[in-house]
Amino acid sequence: MKRIHLTNANTLDPASSQRTVDYVASTGNKLKSTSLILGSLILAWTANAEDLAPIDTTFTYSTKTVNISDNEGEVHVKIFDSVPETDAAGSKTVEYKQVYEGVFSDDKSYEKFSVAEDLGFQLPGVLSKKEHKHHNRMEGHWTGFGVGLSSICDPDFKLATFNGARMNTDKSFEWILNTNEFVVPVISDVIGFTTGFGFDWRNYYMEDHQYLQENSNVVSAFPYEIPNCTYKSGRLRTLHLNVPLFLEIQPHFCDHQSVFLTAGVVAGYKAFANFKYKWIDEDGDVHTTKSANGLNMPPLTLDYMVQAGIKDYAIYAKYSPYGMFRKGEGPDVHTLSIGIVLNFND
């Protein structure tokens, strides 16, 4: 992207333009107050209200480039941040990243901040990660993507079975996608509380040609018995919407703060759960049967979770003190898992 320069310096009078430039200078490299910058830009714009011709003005100060345009009764404001880059040949270029956009008229107002810049997508009305870090003074470690192994255990922390039906631990896994987080520092930027929102998919594959089914209001494992057919697979899958509450510690070592430790609880709401099994008939065709009713799983869950890592990489372990099934309505087993997480942090 080419560097943008002032294209219509006569549009704003010197006093109005100076007010706007002085404000951008005071913000430095951060957009500290959306309402203030928009107020100063609109004041500068309306200082020449008698000139109602369409206007397109761009000016730069420090690393910020501000573009203001008036088109069909709407004022469009865009702010870009310049990022110097050097290619493999040593040539220096300047890339411009849009960090703010606003549209204003008599009957509507719209603002959009840049977020998750490394991933290249934007969400309206959300502070950028740089702004988020500035206000909170510490970066949480909840948002991210993870994968782990899922298993079950009995109340004595011994690996268990579904009433004698064993799990295939090589295929049983969970996927984690945590999309939002909020950090409340307690002691400087070293100790704080973290919460947020995320998703958790868990899969439990069966061995020994078994499947889960409700019988007399109790979920049990039963052997697969269909004449002239071959059992292929059976698995239990759940999806939970999660909200954590963590105590996070980020100690300083030699002026670096890359190590972190989190511990707390994750509350979950069961979005769905089903059991699916597949079999092959005598003609070689594969058939699938799903059952989402009668699994007797509680709508709410609670897991203990600990996580330790360096920079954006972490290992985690989770355990639920509550049963996977409602008490007396299924096997007395508890969920546990262990895995790795890649955090979505700078």
For residue range 309-326, what is the model confidence (pLDDT) as tens digits?
Answer: 998 899 999 999 999 999
The reported pLDDT for the residue numbered 200 is 95
The residue among 272, 165, 255, 267 whose CA lies nearest residue 219 is 165
The pLDDT tens digits for 132-167 are: 444 446 788 899 999 999 999 988 888 888 888 888
Which residue type does 275 have? F
pLDDT greater at residue 251 or residue 1: 251
Domain ranges of the chain: 14-129, 137-343
| pLDDT at position 53 over 60 | no
Rounded distance between C-alpha atoms, residue 159 and residue 176, angstroms = 22
CA-derived radius of gyration, the chain: 28
State the SS3 of 189-258.
CCEEEEEEEEEEEEEEEECCCEEEEEECCEEEEEECCCCCCEEEEEEEEEEEEEEEEEEEECCCECCECC
182 phi-psi bin (left φ>0, alpha ψ -120 to 50, beta other): beta
Q: How would residue 288 be classed by pLDDT, with cut points 50, 70 and 90?
A: confident
